[in-house]
Amino acid sequence: MRVSVAFLGTGGPEAGSDDMPAVAVTVGGTVVLLDAGEGVQHKLVRLGIGLSRVRYVLVTHLHGDHVLGLIPLIQTRALTSGDSQSLLIVGPSGTARYLRESFSSLFFNPGESVEVREVRGWDTVELYGRVRATAVPLEHSIETYGYRLNFGGGEDFCYITDTRPLNTELLRGCLVIIHDSTFSWIDLDKAEEFKHSTALEAGRVASEAGSKLLLLYHISPRYSSRSFLEAEARRFFRQAYAAEKYMKLVLEL
Ligand SMILES: [Zn+2]
Protein backbone atom coordinates (compact mmCIF):
# COMPACT_ATOMS: atom_id res chain seq x y z
CA MET A 1 0.00 0.00 0.00
CA ARG A 2 1.35 3.41 -0.94
CA VAL A 3 1.44 5.69 2.11
CA SER A 4 2.32 9.40 1.99
CA VAL A 5 3.53 11.04 5.16
CA ALA A 6 3.79 14.80 5.62
CA PHE A 7 5.23 16.35 8.76
CA LEU A 8 3.27 19.47 9.65
CA GLY A 9 5.12 20.15 12.87
CA THR A 10 7.95 18.36 14.66
CA GLY A 11 9.05 20.41 17.67
CA GLY A 12 8.28 20.88 21.32
CA PRO A 13 6.49 23.90 22.78
CA GLU A 14 8.15 27.29 22.42
CA ALA A 15 6.84 30.86 22.37
CA GLY A 16 6.07 31.87 18.80
CA SER A 17 6.93 28.48 17.34
CA ASP A 18 5.17 27.31 14.21
CA ASP A 19 6.39 23.74 14.60
CA MET A 20 3.84 22.06 16.91
CA PRO A 21 3.33 18.29 16.53
CA ALA A 22 1.14 17.03 13.69
CA VAL A 23 1.65 14.44 10.95
CA ALA A 24 -0.65 13.83 7.97
CA VAL A 25 -0.75 10.24 6.70
CA THR A 26 -2.51 9.85 3.35
CA VAL A 27 -3.65 6.52 1.93
CA GLY A 28 -6.00 6.31 -1.00
CA GLY A 29 -6.75 10.04 -0.87
CA THR A 30 -7.94 9.96 2.74
CA VAL A 31 -5.93 11.73 5.43
CA VAL A 32 -5.34 10.38 8.92
CA LEU A 33 -3.96 13.15 11.10
CA LEU A 34 -1.70 12.23 13.99
CA ASP A 35 -2.06 14.98 16.63
CA ALA A 36 -3.22 18.48 15.79
CA GLY A 37 -0.83 21.08 17.17
CA GLU A 38 -1.49 24.79 16.89
CA GLY A 39 -1.62 26.03 13.30
CA VAL A 40 -2.28 22.63 11.77
CA GLN A 41 -5.04 23.80 9.39
CA HIS A 42 -2.78 26.46 7.86
CA LYS A 43 -0.10 23.91 7.16
CA LEU A 44 -2.53 21.42 5.62
CA VAL A 45 -3.75 24.15 3.28
CA ARG A 46 -0.21 25.21 2.49
CA LEU A 47 0.62 21.63 1.45
CA GLY A 48 -2.49 21.50 -0.72
CA ILE A 49 -4.28 19.01 1.54
CA GLY A 50 -7.95 20.00 1.59
CA LEU A 51 -9.42 19.97 5.11
CA SER A 52 -12.37 17.82 4.01
CA ARG A 53 -9.90 15.04 3.16
CA VAL A 54 -9.02 14.79 6.85
CA ARG A 55 -11.41 12.08 8.02
CA TYR A 56 -9.57 10.82 11.12
CA VAL A 57 -7.58 12.52 13.87
CA LEU A 58 -5.65 10.33 16.29
CA VAL A 59 -4.82 12.30 19.43
CA THR A 60 -1.99 11.06 21.65
CA HIS A 61 -2.88 13.12 24.72
CA LEU A 62 -4.42 16.35 25.85
CA HIS A 63 -1.34 18.52 26.37
CA GLY A 64 -1.86 21.76 24.49
CA ASP A 65 0.99 21.36 22.02
CA HIS A 66 -0.82 18.30 20.59
CA VAL A 67 -4.41 19.53 20.47
CA LEU A 68 -4.58 23.32 20.28
CA GLY A 69 -5.03 23.16 16.51
CA LEU A 70 -7.94 20.74 16.72
CA ILE A 71 -10.82 23.12 17.45
CA PRO A 72 -9.93 25.57 14.64
CA LEU A 73 -9.48 22.64 12.25
CA ILE A 74 -12.90 21.16 13.05
CA GLN A 75 -14.61 24.53 12.94
CA THR A 76 -13.16 25.63 9.60
CA ARG A 77 -13.70 22.18 8.13
CA ALA A 78 -17.35 22.17 9.18
CA LEU A 79 -17.92 25.64 7.77
CA THR A 80 -16.32 24.82 4.45
CA SER A 81 -17.31 21.21 3.85
CA GLY A 82 -20.57 21.12 5.77
CA ASP A 83 -21.76 17.79 7.10
CA SER A 84 -20.83 15.91 3.98
CA GLN A 85 -17.54 14.43 5.20
CA SER A 86 -17.55 12.71 8.57
CA LEU A 87 -14.70 13.14 11.02
CA LEU A 88 -13.69 10.58 13.65
CA ILE A 89 -11.51 11.79 16.49
CA VAL A 90 -9.76 9.09 18.48
CA GLY A 91 -8.04 9.94 21.76
CA PRO A 92 -7.63 9.27 25.48
CA SER A 93 -10.35 9.79 28.06
CA GLY A 94 -11.18 13.48 28.31
CA THR A 95 -11.09 14.02 24.53
CA ALA A 96 -14.88 14.16 24.24
CA ARG A 97 -15.14 16.58 27.15
CA TYR A 98 -12.44 18.86 25.69
CA LEU A 99 -14.35 19.07 22.42
CA ARG A 100 -17.79 19.37 23.96
CA GLU A 101 -16.81 22.16 26.37
CA SER A 102 -14.81 24.04 23.74
CA PHE A 103 -17.69 23.96 21.26
CA SER A 104 -20.16 24.90 23.95
CA SER A 105 -18.04 27.91 24.95
CA LEU A 106 -17.78 28.96 21.32
CA PHE A 107 -21.53 28.61 20.61
CA PHE A 108 -20.58 26.23 17.84
CA ASN A 109 -22.27 22.98 16.90
CA PRO A 110 -20.08 20.76 14.73
CA GLY A 111 -23.07 18.59 13.84
CA GLU A 112 -23.58 14.87 13.61
CA SER A 113 -20.62 14.34 11.34
CA VAL A 114 -18.04 14.69 14.13
CA GLU A 115 -17.67 11.58 16.22
CA VAL A 116 -15.34 10.90 19.15
CA ARG A 117 -13.98 7.54 20.21
CA GLU A 118 -12.08 7.43 23.50
CA VAL A 119 -9.67 4.50 23.60
CA ARG A 120 -7.87 2.44 26.19
CA GLY A 121 -4.56 0.66 25.80
CA TRP A 122 -4.41 -1.85 22.91
CA ASP A 123 -7.83 -0.93 21.54
CA THR A 124 -7.88 -1.30 17.78
CA VAL A 125 -10.05 1.08 15.77
CA GLU A 126 -11.04 0.15 12.23
CA LEU A 127 -10.69 3.37 10.24
CA TYR A 128 -11.53 2.66 6.60
CA GLY A 129 -10.77 0.02 4.02
CA ARG A 130 -8.00 -2.10 5.50
CA VAL A 131 -6.59 0.77 7.56
CA ARG A 132 -6.69 0.34 11.31
CA ALA A 133 -5.06 1.95 14.33
CA THR A 134 -4.05 0.34 17.61
CA ALA A 135 -3.56 2.50 20.70
CA VAL A 136 -0.24 1.80 22.41
CA PRO A 137 -0.14 2.92 26.07
CA LEU A 138 2.81 5.27 26.56
CA GLU A 139 4.73 6.39 29.64
CA HIS A 140 4.12 10.13 29.89
CA SER A 141 2.93 12.46 32.67
CA ILE A 142 -0.76 12.05 31.72
CA GLU A 143 -2.77 9.36 29.91
CA THR A 144 -1.11 9.08 26.49
CA TYR A 145 -1.32 6.66 23.56
CA GLY A 146 0.92 6.13 20.60
CA TYR A 147 -0.66 4.62 17.49
CA ARG A 148 0.33 1.66 15.36
CA LEU A 149 -1.19 2.12 11.93
CA ASN A 150 -1.67 -0.96 9.81
CA PHE A 151 -2.65 -0.79 6.15
CA GLY A 152 -3.51 -4.43 5.60
CA GLY A 153 0.05 -5.75 5.39
CA GLY A 154 2.27 -7.43 7.92
CA GLU A 155 4.15 -4.39 9.15
CA ASP A 156 3.12 -1.21 10.90
CA PHE A 157 3.76 2.51 10.83
CA CYS A 158 4.21 3.62 14.44
CA TYR A 159 3.73 7.05 16.00
CA ILE A 160 5.25 7.05 19.49
CA THR A 161 5.24 10.41 21.31
CA ASP A 162 5.34 11.71 24.15
CA THR A 163 6.93 8.99 26.27
CA ARG A 164 9.85 7.43 28.04
CA PRO A 165 11.23 4.51 26.00
CA LEU A 166 8.89 1.51 25.97
CA ASN A 167 9.71 -2.14 26.29
CA THR A 168 10.74 -2.73 22.68
CA GLU A 169 8.87 -6.03 22.48
CA LEU A 170 5.76 -3.83 22.24
CA LEU A 171 7.10 -2.25 19.06
CA ARG A 172 8.08 -5.36 17.13
CA GLY A 173 6.78 -5.12 13.58
CA CYS A 174 7.07 -1.33 13.47
CA LEU A 175 8.73 -0.96 10.07
CA VAL A 176 8.78 2.82 10.43
CA ILE A 177 8.85 4.61 13.78
CA ILE A 178 8.26 8.27 14.47
CA HIS A 179 9.65 8.51 18.00
CA ASP A 180 9.82 11.10 20.74
CA SER A 181 13.33 12.57 20.74
CA THR A 182 12.69 15.65 22.81
CA PHE A 183 16.13 15.66 24.39
CA SER A 184 19.75 14.80 23.78
CA TRP A 185 21.28 12.15 26.03
CA ILE A 186 23.20 14.93 27.78
CA ASP A 187 19.82 16.08 29.12
CA LEU A 188 18.67 12.62 30.18
CA ASP A 189 17.71 13.95 33.61
CA LYS A 190 15.18 16.29 31.95
CA ALA A 191 13.86 13.46 29.76
CA GLU A 192 13.25 11.41 32.89
CA GLU A 193 11.72 14.32 34.78
CA PHE A 194 9.30 15.36 32.02
CA LYS A 195 8.65 11.83 30.73
CA HIS A 196 10.15 12.17 27.28
CA SER A 197 12.87 10.29 25.40
CA THR A 198 16.35 11.16 24.23
CA ALA A 199 17.51 10.69 20.64
CA LEU A 200 19.89 8.01 21.87
CA GLU A 201 17.01 6.11 23.45
CA ALA A 202 14.94 6.46 20.26
CA GLY A 203 17.83 4.91 18.32
CA ARG A 204 18.05 2.02 20.74
CA VAL A 205 14.27 1.44 20.57
CA ALA A 206 14.28 1.38 16.75
CA SER A 207 17.24 -0.99 16.71
CA GLU A 208 15.77 -3.43 19.23
CA ALA A 209 12.33 -3.32 17.62
CA GLY A 210 13.84 -4.35 14.28
CA SER A 211 12.64 -1.22 12.45
CA LYS A 212 13.85 -0.05 9.06
CA LEU A 213 13.44 3.70 9.47
CA LEU A 214 13.38 6.09 12.45
CA LEU A 215 12.20 9.69 12.41
CA LEU A 216 13.26 11.74 15.42
CA TYR A 217 10.33 13.87 16.50
CA HIS A 218 9.04 16.37 19.10
CA ILE A 219 12.51 17.89 19.32
CA SER A 220 13.08 20.53 21.97
CA PRO A 221 13.68 24.04 20.64
CA ARG A 222 16.65 24.26 23.02
CA TYR A 223 18.80 22.59 20.35
CA SER A 224 19.78 24.95 17.53
CA SER A 225 20.89 22.09 15.29
CA ARG A 226 19.22 18.71 14.88
CA SER A 227 22.11 16.97 13.15
CA PHE A 228 23.85 16.06 16.40
CA LEU A 229 20.65 14.36 17.55
CA GLU A 230 20.76 12.28 14.37
CA ALA A 231 24.37 11.37 15.12
CA GLU A 232 23.34 10.41 18.64
CA ALA A 233 20.53 8.12 17.47
CA ARG A 234 22.80 6.56 14.83
CA ARG A 235 25.05 5.19 17.53
CA PHE A 236 22.34 2.52 17.81
CA PHE A 237 20.46 2.77 14.52
CA ARG A 238 21.88 3.98 11.22
CA GLN A 239 18.62 4.82 9.45
CA ALA A 240 17.75 7.66 11.85
CA TYR A 241 16.73 11.08 10.57
CA ALA A 242 15.50 14.17 12.36
CA ALA A 243 12.03 15.07 11.09
CA GLU A 244 11.58 18.64 9.82
CA LYS A 245 8.43 20.64 9.22
CA TYR A 246 7.08 19.98 5.71
CA MET A 247 9.27 16.91 5.24
CA LYS A 248 7.45 14.34 3.09
CA LEU A 249 7.94 10.61 2.75
CA VAL A 250 6.36 8.08 0.44
CA LEU A 251 6.36 4.54 1.81
CA GLU A 252 5.24 1.12 0.59
CA LEU A 253 3.64 -0.64 3.56
ZN1 LIG B 1 4.23 17.21 23.63
Q: How does pLDDT run across 51-105, given as a tens digit for each residue? A: 999 999 999 999 999 999 999 999 999 888 765 789 999 999 999 999 999 999 9
| CB neighbour list of residue 138: distance below 8 Å, 6 or more residues apart | 60, 61, 144, 145, 146, 160, 161, 162, 163, 166
Q: How far is the CA of 63 from the centre of ligand 1 (A)?
A: 6
Q: How confident is the model at residue 11 (pLDDT cuts 50, 70, 90)?
A: very high
Per-residue HEC secondary structure of 81-123 comes to HCCCCCEEEEECCCHHHHHHHHHHHCCCCCCCCEEEEECCCCC
Q: Let me know how long the chain is.
A: 253
Rounded (5°) CA angle 57-63-67: 30
pTM of the predicted model, to two decimals? 0.97
Note the pLDDT of residue 13: 83
Q: How far is the CA of 8 from the centre of ligand 1 (A)?
A: 14
C-alpha–C-alpha distance, residues 126 and 107, integer Å: 31
Cβ(35)–Cβ(21) below 8 Å = yes
Could you tell me what percent of the chain has a pLDDT over 90? 91
Q: How far is the CA of 81 from the centre of ligand 1 (A)?
A: 30
Q: How far is the CA of 145 from the centre of ligand 1 (A)?
A: 12
* pLDDT digits 0-9 by tens, 98-156: 999 999 999 999 888 899 999 999 999 999 999 999 999 999 999 999 999 999 999 99
Where do the structural domains in the chain lie, given as residue ranges? 2-246
Note the pLDDT of residue 228: 94
Which among 19, 65, 162, 180 is annotated as catalytic? Answer: 65
* pLDDT digits 0-9 by tens, 115-130: 999 999 999 999 999 9
Q: How far is the CA of 38 from the centre of ligand 1 (A)?
A: 12
As assigned by CATH, the class of the 2-246 domain is alpha beta
Asked about 65 being catalytic, the answer comes back as yes
* pLDDT digits 0-9 by tens, 168-192: 999 999 999 999 999 999 999 999 9
